[in-house]
Structure formats: structure tokens, C-alpha cells
């Protein structure tokens, strides 16, 4: 109020002005973790591009880029520490490829593979791998009650969403940027969840996976990996 300001001692006025300046400066400083974690927006143009993507062109690009060295001829890797991308949604694969290209997801080999590709080529690659037959979960899945609770109910006390709420009741993935978990190797799932937990991977929108992974114990991560995991091809 004007009356307070007129009657306010000089030292209080000085402190008040300093506080206003500091508050203004603070508003200009980005909050930790507030930076965009991905430049991908599934707007109308992006969805149209993905729908019109050509898997035949994508197959040719996959051969040119020697994708088979890590992901197998049709998107199923022989290395249990690599992701199986066969049958994942084209939107999820496209997002990861774009994040590698933009260096929002850190991997030198993947950056070299994607840096010279345009967005349509990334979409074509995604369409090719999405059209392939996915890997199947192992027969001897971990059906422990504690694991099933996390899969289908989560843990509200720790603010952990049910895995199925984003990744589907069957683990085959959800819309846009929710990948399939079923059919991934346990070793890969442990590796990537640990990456999120330790914030070595940070291209998840709104830190969703980092928040979940940081709340999970190592035993829970291993249990979930065993539940969703596939057997390694012989």
C-alpha cells in the first residue's frame, strides 16, 4: 500500500528493491530439467508424414545404414543388450531416430547414422521396422505378485504409474512415444531402465520414465525386465 511505502524505513525500502530485482532475475533463469527433452511434436503434419511413409524406401535406407549390425536383418538383434525394434510403432521409432539426429539422445553411432537423413527418410526407416514381426516374450515369464502389481496397478504411494497404463495391457506399446516392452531382452530392459534411473538417458517427455525408474529398486527393475523379456535367439 502507498501508506506503507511512505512510512517504510529506508533500509526496508532498499531490501524491498533488492528482493524485487532478485525475483525478476530468478524468473529469467530456466529451472533445472525444464529444457525440452525432444523436438518431436506429433502434430497433424508429422502424423500425415508417418502415415504416408514408405517401408520399401525404409528397407533400402536400413541396408545403406547397415542397421543390421546392431538390430538384425529385420529389427531383432542377436545381442541381448540391443533393443529389438521390429514391430514397434512407427511413431516411437521415428521419435528416437529424430532424437538421435538432434542429439537429444546420446549415442555416437546412431548420430552418425541419422545426421544426414531428412525427416521423411527417418519416417520411412521407422515404417520399415514397424512393419516387421516383433520378438516374442519368453515362455518362463516372471509372474511374481509384486511384479504384477507394478505392471497392472503401479504403486500410488511412490507415484509410480502402472506400466500397462502407457505400454499396454499386453506390453505391446501405446500411442506415439510409448514403446513396446514385451519382446525386449531382459538385459536391454535393465540397461535402459538404469539409464533413466541414473539420468544418463533424458529424452523422455516430462521426465516420465526418469521419475518412474528413480522410484524403482534394482530388484524391481530386474523383475520387470524378466516379466517383459524375450528369449535370446539361438
Residue 219 has pLDDT above 90, yes or no: yes
Overall pTM surpassing 0.85 (yes/no): no
Residue 16 has pLDDT above 50, yes or no: no
Helix (H, G, I), strand (E, B) or coil at 183: coil
Q: What is the pLDDT of residue 49?
A: 96
Residue 62 has pLDDT above 90, yes or no: yes
Gap between the Cα atoms of 118 and 61, Å rounded: 12
pLDDT average, residue stretch 198-223: 95
pLDDT, mean over the chain: 86
Partnered with residue 126 across adjacent β-strands are none
Count of all residues that appear for the chain in the document: 234
Q: At 135, phi and psi to the nearest 5? A: -70, 155
Q: By percentage, how much of the chain surpasses pLDDT 70?
A: 83
Q: Which three cell numbers stand for residue 70?
A: 546392431
pLDDT average, residue stretch 155-176: 93
Gap between the Cα atoms of 207 and 201, Å rounded: 10
Alpha helices in 106-205 (DSSP H): 108-114, 119-130, 145-152, 163-167, 186-197
Q: What is the pLDDT of residue 136?
A: 85
Class of residue 22 by CB neighbours under 10 A (exposed 0-12, middle 13-18, buried 19+)? exposed
Quickly state the pLDDT bin for 117 (edges 50, 70, 90).
very high
pLDDT average, residue stretch 19-26: 41
The per-residue pLDDT for range 221-231, each reduced to its tens digit, is: 999 999 998 86
Amino acid at each position: 500500500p502507498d501508506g506503507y511505502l511512505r512510512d517504510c524505513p529506508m533500509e526496508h525500502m532498499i531490501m524491498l528493491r533488492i528482493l524485487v530485482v532478485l525475483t525478476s532475475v530468478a524468473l529469467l533463469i530456466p529451472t533445472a530439467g525444464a529444457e525440452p527433452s525432444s523436438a518431436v511434436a506429433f502434430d497433424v503434419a508429422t502424423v500425415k508424414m508417418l502415415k504416408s511413409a514408405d517401408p520399401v524406401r525404409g528397407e533400402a535406407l536400413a541396408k545403406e545404414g547397415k542397421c543390421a549390425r546392431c538390430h538384425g536383418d529385420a529389427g531383432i538383434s542377436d545381442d541381448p543388450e540391443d533393443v529389438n525394434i521390429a514391430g514397434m510403432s512407427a511413431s516411437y521409432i521415428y521419435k528416437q531416430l529424430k532424437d538421435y539426429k538432434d542429439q537429444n539422445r546420446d549415442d555416437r553411432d546412431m548420430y552418425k547414422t541419422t545426421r544426414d537423413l531428412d525427416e521423411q527418410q527417418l519416417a520411412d526407416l521407422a515404417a520399415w521396422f514397424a512393419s516387421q514381426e516383433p520378438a516374442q516374450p519368453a515362455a518362463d515369464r516372471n509372474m511374481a505378485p509384486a511384479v504384477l502389481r507394478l505392471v497392472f496397478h503401479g504403486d500410488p504411494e511412490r507415484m509410480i504409474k502402472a506400466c500397462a497404463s502407457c505400454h499396454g495391457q499386453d506390453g505391446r506399446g501405446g500411442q506415439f512415444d510409448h514403446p513396446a516392452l514385451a519382446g525386449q531382452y531382459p538385459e536391454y530392459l535393465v540397461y535402459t531402465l538404469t539409464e533413466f534411473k541414473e539420468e544418463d538417458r533424458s529424452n523422455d517427455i516430462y521426465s516420465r520414465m526418469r521419475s518412474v525408474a528413480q522410484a524403482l529398486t534394482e530388484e524391481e527393475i530386474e523383475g520387470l525386465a524378466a516379466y517383459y523379456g524375450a528369449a535370446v535367439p539361438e
